[in-house]
Amino acid sequence: MSNWLICCCAILTLTAPGAAAAQQPVTTGHPPAAAVSAQGAAQPGLAQLLEARVRAAWQAFGKKDAKAYAKFLTEDFQAVEADGEGERSRLHVLGEVEHCMFTSYLLQLFEVQPLGSDYAFVTYESTLQFPKSAALRFRRVFIGELWTQRSGQWQMMRYQETLVR
């Protein structure tokens, strides 16, 4: 499945308008002034926008607010989590929101890679903390998300997490 996501991102990169120009990742963990590339000042703004959207989506998920979380997902959203249970549809993921078990989380090491004008690949790391009674207290995952702009709104189209050991 991860090969599918990589291939999909590669195809989007190669077929997107303006994809021939070199596009460098934009790291939002540092001042945006250092993150200027071939597309100029638009990338730092995009990086900040998508990092804010990711953080807001996590906040909605953590509050167990499926209605708010749904606004961040495209209708054809698909997710693959590190539990090995395979691909999940939008409806499946929205059904999981009310059962979220983490008590806190840390999001860091954001990078945004524009893939044309309406797509971007966002990567970051998340450290999750679970209740003291849980068998697993902490979990670190590396996350890759494909975001797309539809009707002027950036939404998450694909979510893939990999366990960091």
- Structural domains of the chain, ranges and CATH numbers in brackets: 2-8+24-29+40-163 (3.10.450.50)
pLDDT digits (tens, 9 = 90+) for 150-162: 988 999 999 999 8
The reported pTM is 0.71
Q: Residues in the chain with pLDDT < 50?
A: 1-42
Question: Chain centroid to CA 16: how far?
Answer: 19
pLDDT digits (tens, 9 = 90+) for 84-106: 788 988 898 898 888 778 888 89
Q: Report the alpha-carbon distance of residue 158 to residue 78 in Å, rounded.
A: 5
| Per-residue confidence (pLDDT) for residue 52, from 0 to 100 | 96
Alpha helices of the chain — where are they, by DSSP H? 2-15, 42-62, 66-70, 90-96
**Among the listed residues 84, 93, 159, the one whose alpha carbon sits nearest the alpha carbon of residue 126:** 159
